[in-house]
Copies of this chain bind each other. A is one copy, B any other.
């Protein structure tokens, strides 16, 4: 149906689209996928041709309904496979993302359905991200970036951006995991770094780090 490259673009656009409803820029896609903006322009033209995105020159792209459906199907597979690797094959949560990047492109509706059943229809992946069901629905969990909290705020870790294994290893070292309670002790003005209390221990977290930690306030 669609190529791996096309699926990667759809997924990237889906993630970058977030809440806002204005177009996703080619440069943000190129950063996300480690390609060059010129390559993205070509790619989105092909996607527009196939009615997977709406594309307006110089004003970015947006997924069509079909495009979004397919992106969600890929996200579903990615998160199910990550769950499989951690829950059944003894992988650590910090070493599954790369493999899931490959597995998410396997084409077989039956495989996804049976895998989901086999895993007991998990609602969240190992990084706390919700797993869409076969129809593309997923629980809207209220969560913020840790970086959005103010001094004095408390919250519980609900998810982490799993794109980098080194980040997840770093979290493990800091004793931060799903469900960990955090309290913002201080925020440095000049670099937005944060001091947080985790079970009586105080740790320093960079803005880069707090941007990739999701909390339920």
Query: What is the interface of chain A, defined by CB distance below 8 A to chain B?
Result: 85, 88-91, 95, 98-99, 102-103, 106-108, 110-111, 114-115, 118
The 7 closest A-B pairs by CB, nearest first: A89-B114, A99-B108, A102-B106, A99-B111, A89-B118, A90-B114, A103-B106
In the complex, which residues of chain B have a beta carbon less than 8 angstroms from the beta carbon of A85? Answer: 111, 114
In the complex, which residues of chain B have a beta carbon less than 8 angstroms from the beta carbon of A90? Answer: 114
In the complex, which residues of chain B have a beta carbon less than 8 angstroms from the beta carbon of A106? Answer: 99, 102-103
A91, B103: Cβ atoms under 8 Å?
A: no
Q: From DSSP, what is the main secondary structure of chain A's interface residues? A: helix
A-B contact pairs, 14 of them (CB 8 A): A85-B111, A88-B118, A89-B111, A89-B115, A89-B118, A90-B114, A91-B110, A91-B114, A95-B110, A98-B108, A99-B111, A102-B106, A102-B107, A102-B108
In the complex, which residues of chain B have a beta carbon less than 8 angstroms from the beta carbon of A115? Answer: 89
Nearest B residue to A107, CB-CB: B102
Q: Give the distance in Å from the alpha carbon of A114 to the alpha carbon of B197 in the complex.
A: 37
Q: Give the distance in Å from the alpha carbon of A32 to the alpha carbon of B130 in the complex.
A: 42
In the complex, which residues of chain B have a beta carbon less than 8 angstroms from the beta carbon of A91? Answer: 110, 114
Q: Give the distance in Å from the alpha carbon of A91 to the alpha carbon of B109 in the complex.
A: 12
Q: Give the distance in Å from the alpha carbon of A111 to the alpha carbon of B91 in the complex.
A: 9
Q: Give the distance in Å from the alpha carbon of A98 to the alpha carbon of B88 in the complex.
A: 23
Q: Give the distance in Å from the alpha carbon of A115 to the alpha carbon of B91 in the complex.
A: 11
Given contacts A90-B114, A91-B114, A103-B106, 14 further A-B contacts (CB under 8 A): A85-B114, A88-B118, A89-B111, A89-B114, A89-B115, A89-B118, A91-B110, A95-B110, A98-B108, A99-B106, A99-B108, A99-B111, A102-B106, A102-B107
